[in-house]
Amino acid sequence: MIRRFLGHLLSCKDVSRLVSQGQDRPLGGWDRWRLRMHLSVCAACTRFDAQLRFLRRAMRKYRD
């Protein structure tokens, strides 16, 4: 039971893909929840998430 639950948790690699996808399409509730859970305990991925959001802002500025 616990192992099945743990199997659903996201690795940092999964998170990096989800964070990127989240910039292109709305994520489903389950993915969003898993993502939030992971970010709440992973400083590295939290930095990654902020960095990708910054990249998008930088690209907008680059254009303007």
Binding stretches for another protein (CB under 8 A): 11-14, 16-17, 20-21, 23-25, 44-45, 47-48, 50-52, 54-64
Q: Please, what is the minimum distance in Å from the beta carbon of residue 17 to another protein?
A: 6
Q: Please, what is the minimum distance in Å from the beta carbon of residue 28 to another protein?
A: 14
Which CB atom, from 33 or from 54, has the smaller least distance to another protein?
A: 54
- 15-22: long-range contacts (C-beta < 8 A, 24 or more apart)? 15/39, 15/42, 15/45, 15/48, 15/49, 16/45, 16/48, 19/45, 19/48, 19/49, 19/52, 20/52
